[in-house]
C-alpha cells in the first residue's frame, strides 16, 4: 500500500522535474531562425489558402451541377 502511495506522489514530482529540464534546454530563436520559421509559416498560409480557394472554385459549382442547383 505504501508503494502505491509513493508511486502516486512521484508522478507530479517527475512531471515538474521533466518540465524544468525542458525549459532549461529551450532557447530563443536568433534572427535567422525566426525569419526561416516565419517564412515557412507564411508559405503554409499561402498554400492552404490556395487549396481552399481552388476547392471552393471547383467543388461548389460541380456540386451545384450534380445536386441540381436547389
3 state SS for the chain: CHHHHHHHHHHHHHHHHHHHHHHHHCCCCCHHHHHHHHHHHHHHHHHHHHHHHHHHHHHHHHHHHHHCCC
| Higher pLDDT among residues 45 and 59, named by residue | 45
Please state, for a pLDDT cut of 70, what percent of the chain lies above it: 96
Task: For residues 51-61, give the mean pLDDT.
Answer: 87
pLDDT computed for residue 46 by the predictor = 98
* pTM score over 0.85: no
- For 30-55, the pLDDT digits (tens) are 999 999 999 999 999 999 999 999 98
Amino acid at each position: 500500500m505504501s508503494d502505491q502511495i509513493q508511486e502516486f506522489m512521484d508522478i507530479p514530482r517527475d512531471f515538474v522535474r521533466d518540465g524544468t529540464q525542458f525549459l532549461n534546454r529551450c532557447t530563443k530563436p536568433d534572427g535567422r531562425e525566426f525569419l526561416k520559421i516565419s517564412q515557412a509559416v507564411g508559405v503554409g498560409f499561402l498554400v492552404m489558402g490556395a487549396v481552399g480557394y481552388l476547392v471552393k472554385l471547383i467543388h461548389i459549382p460541380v456540386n451545384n451541377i450534380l445536386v441540381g442547383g436547389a
